[in-house]
Amino acid sequence: MGERILILGANGQIGSELAAALRLKFGVDNIITSDIREPRERAENEIFELVNVLDKDRVKQLFEQYQPTQVYLLAAMLSATGEQYPQKAWDLNMNGLLNVLDLAVDLGIKKVFWPSSIAVFGPHSPKVDTPQYCVMDPNSIYGISKLAGERLCEYYHKKYNLDVRSIRYPGVISWKTEPGGGTTDYAVHIYFEALRNGAYTSFLSEQTELPMLYMQDAVRGTLELMDAPADKLSIRSSYNLAGMSFTPKDISEEIQKILPSFEISYTENDPRQAIADSWPKRINDDYARKDWGWKPSFDLETMTKDMIENLKSTI
């Protein structure tokens, strides 16, 4: 039997592009997208269902109806919004995951994908070349929920032999669907504003360096991890994954190479600064490279060219 894939939280920044890639790979009839709201637009013949991942009965019903071989759980509240609604963030990020893990075991789902984040690291984690294993003391509710989620994934793998796979995404940059409520979102907004207004005010300071990844690499990496033979995967919590690292100053200089009149300014005292300051600057992803052959293909320069080219024709 071929694969049938259910994506929970398919309308978001990563979900919308993963869904498109999965439809290309497995055929539109084999991909079921779902979210708490109707999508802004649907792909041709897209199978879409409304679901709140906190409604376990409804999730169970979808599992039974479609009998997916793989489930991607992408519904989550990100770091900045999480600080505004900590209880809700914890509830959604933890109980959504627990519902899916439990049902996946009960109903025999072959593979589960769940995204973690660089937010699992904290002020005492090494900032540069951050290793897979080190002190992890996240201080955002988002990071705390992701770290707990990683422990659950590993636990379900060990205890129930569930084939659950995960990536600690850095900030993901894309032009099709804008992210919402994250600390790394500035690196997406800056391109949109450069083309719309020729200027951008960054909520992170000019020297704030963070790990980032272009969407094409994020999607390819995710599919590569999901395709990798199970016995090659030495990590069942979540893999560090690196693409590039840059500061608001670096990205603005790169944009100025293409749009010379672009201007950047900075705000002070944004609450997202403290979150960014607690995260790594550069991540070590040796395990992903060794276990399943990960290699990013975009750097800041090639990503900037691609972003601007694509946004020019869509904005």
Which window, 44-52, 180-188, 230-238, 248-256, contacts ligand SER (CB under 6 A)?
180-188
Judged by CB, which is closer to ligand SER: 256, or 273? 273
Indicate which single residue of 96, 171, 221, 248 sits in contact with ligand SER (rule: CB under 6 A): 171
Q: 259: Cβ–Cβ under 8 A, 6 or more apart, which residues?
A: 194, 195, 198, 308
3-class DSSP assignment, residue 262: coil
DSSP 8-class letter at 42: -
Residue 283 interacting with ligand SER (CB under 6 A):
no
Indicate which single residue of 109, 119, 219, 283 sits in contact with ligand SER (rule: CB under 6 A): 119
Give the integer Cα–Cα distance in Å for 211 and 151: 22
| Min CB(13)–ligand SER separation in Å | 9
Judged by CB, which is closer to ligand SER: 33, or 79? 79
DSSP 8-class letter at 167: E
Judged by CB, which is closer to ligand SER: 69, or 205? 205
Binding mask 183-222 for ligand SER (x = CB under 6 A): xx--------------------------------------
Q: Which two tokens stand for residue 64?
A: 């039974």
| Min CB(119)–ligand SER separation in Å | 5
- Residues 130, 284: contact at Cβ < 8 Å? yes
Nearest residue relative to ligand SER (C-beta): 182
- Residues 246, 300: contact at Cβ < 8 Å? yes
Residue 79 interacting with ligand SER (CB under 6 A):
yes
Give the integer Cα–Cα distance in Å for 113 and 5: 11
Residue 117 interacting with ligand SER (CB under 6 A):
yes
Judged by CB, which is closer to ligand SER: 104, or 276? 276
Residue 147 interacting with ligand SER (CB under 6 A):
no
- Residues 280, 125: contact at Cβ < 8 Å? yes
Determine the length of the chain: 315
Q: 278: Cβ–Cβ under 8 A, 6 or more apart, which residues?
A: 121, 122, 123, 138, 139, 140, 143
# residues near ligand SER by CB under 6 A: 10
142 has catalytic annotation: yes
Residue 78 interacting with ligand SER (CB under 6 A):
yes
| Min CB(12)–ligand SER separation in Å | 11
Judged by CB, which is closer to ligand SER: 8, or 167? 167
Give the integer Cα–Cα distance in Å for 260 and 253: 9
Q: 49 to each of 10, 36, 175, 178, how far by Cα in Å?
A: 10, 9, 25, 22
- 167: nearest Cα among 118, 234, 239, 233: 239
Q: Which of 72, 142, 186, 287 is catalytic?
A: 142
Which window, 177-185, 239-247, 256-264, 299-307, contacts ligand SER (CB under 6 A)?
177-185
Task: Answer left, alpha or beta for residue 237, where phi above 0 means left and psi between -120 and 50 means alpha.
Answer: alpha
Which window, 19-27, 57-65, 178-186, 243-251, contacts ligand SER (CB under 6 A)?
178-186
- 154: nearest Cα among 197, 108, 112, 95: 112
Judged by the rule CB under 6 A, the positions of this chain that interact with ligand SER are 78-79, 117, 119, 142, 169, 171, 182-184
Catalytic positions are 142
